[in-house]
Amino acid sequence: MSHPTSVAIAVPATTANIGPGFDCLGAALSLYNSFTFSQLDSSPTTVVIAATGAEAARVSTNASNLAYQAFAKLYQQIGQPIPSVNIDIQLGVPLARGLGSSATAIAAGVMGANVLAGSPLSLEAVVKLAVEIEGHPDNVVPALMGGCRLAATGVKGEWQICDIPWHPSIAAIAAIPNFELSTAEARSVLPNSYSRGDAIFNTAHLGLLLRGLETGNAAWLEAALQDRIHQPYRQALIPGYAAVQQAAIAAGAYGLVISGAGPTLLALAEVAQAEQVKTAIATSWNNQTIDAIVKVLQIDHQGAIAQF
């Protein structure tokens, strides 16, 4: 069987946590990075990487590149030699902003390698490997599979991935500020343990969020976006957070949450209110002399797509 020698993978951005779903819930958004993997006939193994788009100069173009690391990892997993490869990256997802840019690289790397190797692994196995590389499932799972996904471990430690219905009346408004926040820094401010009350609070609100997303019930969504596990600790790392939250809710948003580790903020609102919420958020940050790109996004239901 002949294998393709080149494949282009488009991978959606993701928003993780969505309030109380810390490290287990994420959704794919209509913003994309594209990766083209072309096999090269060269020995010893070489990698040639080029990147275009905003912030392209900051993308690693050697073997430390995350897409290449994931690409190589899949070949190691299936016990095949890593081929020489050219990787062309087109960036549409901002880096280090809480929109899963690293997850797009991991998803593309494992999926691109699997295609070039003749698709020896099932989607389930590709997802499992991507989660191993990333360390947690909330970004890479929706990046690969699309939609909104909840990930939990089964009794034998295997991943159980659950598709969460997202009501078409709910818009996602992403507010991407012109400053960064590293995941390591955002994790460092979290406590090592939580009270029973906080654990119960988050369990209840995650349950309510899942029903709110499915039904579009406004009262449920307003209540459900509260969180006591990560947001109270991370808010201080994001200048203007309280004012932006207030402005979004005043403009009709159900609530505002930190996207992933931040600093991107995500508002959920009824589709009819989305533009109004977008304007209010942009104005609020602007008033605090912070430039932000604010986008009304759809949920991407397809996930990573390979084109030959």
116-125 pLDDT, tens digit per residue, is 999 999 999 9
- Domains, the chain, in order of start with CATH, read 6-164+300-307 (3.30.230.10), 170-297 (3.30.70.890)
**Separation of alpha carbons 150 and 163, rounded Å:** 7
**Separation of alpha carbons 139 and 136, rounded Å:** 8
What is the DSSP secondary-structure string of 244-291?
HHHHHHHTT-SEEEE-TTSSSEEEEEEGGGHHHHHHHHHHHHHHTT--
* Backbone phi, psi, residue 280, to 5°: -60, -40
CB neighbours of residue 62 within 10 Å:
9
Q: Give the chain's residues under pLDDT 50.
A: none
Instruction: Tell me the residue type at 117.
Output: A
**Separation of alpha carbons 41 and 30, rounded Å:** 35
Tell me whether the omega of the peptide bond preceding residue 263 falls within 30 degrees of 0, making it cis.
yes
Q: What is the pLDDT of residue 254?
A: 98
**Separation of alpha carbons 290 and 303, rounded Å:** 32
137-164 pLDDT, tens digit per residue, is 999 999 999 999 999 999 998 899 999 9
